[in-house]
Amino acid sequence: MNVMTSGCRILAAGFCLMLFSALSVQAGGLPDFVDLVKESSPAVVNISTTQHKSISSRFRHNFQLPDLPEDSPLNDLFRKFFGQGRGQGEDDDQIPPGEGYNAQSLGSGFIISPDGIILTAAHVVNGADEVIVRLSDRREFEAKVIGVDKRSDVAVLKIDTTGLPVVKIGSSKELEVGEWVLAIGSPFGFEHSA
């Protein structure tokens, strides 16, 4: 029994040794993106947009406020967006049609020309009244949308500056399924993350 227990221990240790050596070989083969991130990050931009949203009087009149207790914090929210009344004529027109609030959103893009041409997603700037581009060096510029293709979800912006770093554009003909891809951007407001 002692010989069997000792043999099991040796077998388990050998299995662990093989597993760890296989993992270290595999980890050694993983790509290192440090240089790519250092090279490309200066050309990645943060894009913030503002869009004025109006409150439709038609929508407010058709909305029946829920019956909530008077001290409910939701009452203020419903009154702000749908008027004071409960859809029965009492103070329904407190907020004049056309008034509303500013909706803000964030996105990313990258510089493709040193004179301020930026490529981003169309959904990032769709309907925006104001587009602000923030560079990696923290400078901010108001951008003009110069082209949008909603079908391919691509938009082109222009900022008034020169001497900007640009990303190197690759060719999809040289890529194969299964190759590594790296995204650099500003998801959820975390600027220049990869």
Residue spans in the chain of domains classed CATH 2.40.10.120: 32-52+101-194
Residue 83 has pLDDT above 70, yes or no: no
What pLDDT is attached to residue 152? 94
Q: At a CB cut-off of 8 Å and minimum separation 6, what does 84 contact? A: 90, 91, 92, 94
Pair 119, 109: CB distance under 8 Å: yes
Stretch 110-116: mean pLDDT: 96
Pair 118, 158: CB distance under 8 Å: yes
Region of 154 on the Ramachandran plot (φ > 0 left; ψ -120 to 50 alpha; else beta): beta
Stretch 59-84: mean pLDDT: 70
Q: How far is CA 82 from the centre of its chain?
A: 30
Stretch 163-174: mean pLDDT: 90
User: Could you give the CA distance from residue 158 to residue 102 in angstroms, rounded to a whole number?
Assistant: 23
Residue 71 has pLDDT above 50, yes or no: yes
Stretch 156-180: mean pLDDT: 91
Determine the CATH number of domain 32-52+101-194.
Answer: 2.40.10.120
pLDDT tens digits, 3-21: 555 555 665 655 555 555 5
Average confidence score pLDDT of the chain: 78
* Residue 34 token pair: 């440090």
